[in-house]
Amino acid sequence: MTLVKTIVCLANSRKLSGRCVAGMLADGSGEWVRPVSARPNREVSTWERQYADGTDPSVLDIVSVALVRPQPHDFQSENWLLNPTSFWNKIGRVDWRGLVGLEQRPSALWINGSSSYHGNNDRIPIEEAFTLSDSLNLIRTAGLTLQVHTPGAMFGNQKRALSAHFSYAENSHILRVTDPEYELEYLPKPEGFYELGESFLTVSLSEPYEGHVYKLVAAIIERVKVQAGGRR
């Protein structure tokens, strides 16, 4: 049985060989939906998430998605198994005002206090993560700083990474960015820091990795870009 849900796409982020797509129901309920595949890592392929014209869903698209059933996985309570035989359907777009109506105001980004070498408040021990009831948040920041850097340089890994520096609820964060649009724009730039203005961030919890779950910036939505007519 297939159930169609209409969501505001708030992430189409990089995940392994596919993407992690997530959004809130367009009815204003605040409920998150993360369509997932039946594969072990649940990433969504290009073929599984495309519109009938072959294009990819963009952040801020209003999209109808054919789903099979809820498929929560530990703290990722928002997961729904998608129907891979159906095209997704773009219904419209959300503007900045509509985005403001979806804003969430959690007291914190889940649990703070654990940091990786290149991050800050960017991870949660697995045993603590398994006590959480959700894995997605849409928050607003007055501004943020993007950092282009090479975190593995001392070990001979020259692959660049993009990190977001920002404050939320009086806590500073340095989180890895997995938004492919921003990686494409910023990773070719010289290493350093780049200032952005008021933005929404979709923050997601990763799959467990070496004893921790990581907080990731799955989407950056800058006010200046949205009000200029797009993010895409």
Q: Is there a contact between 222 and 199 (Cβ–Cβ < 8 Å)?
A: yes
Summary mean pLDDT of the chain: 95
Q: Picking from 39-43, 50-54, 173-177, 192-196, which range would have the lowest pLDDT averaged per residue?
A: 39-43
pLDDT higher than threshold 80 for residue 69: yes
- Residues near 9 by Cβ (< 8 Å), separated by ≥ 6? 21, 22, 23, 57, 58, 59, 60, 61, 62, 63
Nearest partner of 179 among 153, 200, 194, 197, judged by Cα: 200
- What is the pLDDT confidence band of residue 30, given thresholds at 50, 70 and 90? very high
C-alpha separations of 12 from 61, 184, 219, 232 in Å: 11, 14, 7, 12
Q: Picking from 123-132, 151-160, 190-199, which range would have the lowest pLDDT averaged per residue?
A: 151-160
- The β-bridge relationship of strands 79-82 and 32-36 is parallel
pLDDT higher than threshold 70 for residue 58: yes
CA atoms within 13 A on the CB side of 111: 17
Tokens of 176: 């890895």
Nearest partner of 176 among 187, 186, 165, 162, judged by Cα: 162
What was the pLDDT predicted at 112? 98
- What is the pLDDT confidence band of residue 232, given thresholds at 50, 70 and 90? low
- What is the pLDDT confidence band of residue 230, given thresholds at 50, 70 and 90? low
Radius of gyration over every alpha carbon of the chain, rounded to an integer in angstroms: 17
CA atoms within 13 A on the CB side of 147: 13
3-state secondary structure 71-82: CCECCECCEEEE
Q: What is the pTM of this model?
A: 0.95
The torsion angles phi and psi of 50, rounded to 5 degrees, stand at: -80, 155
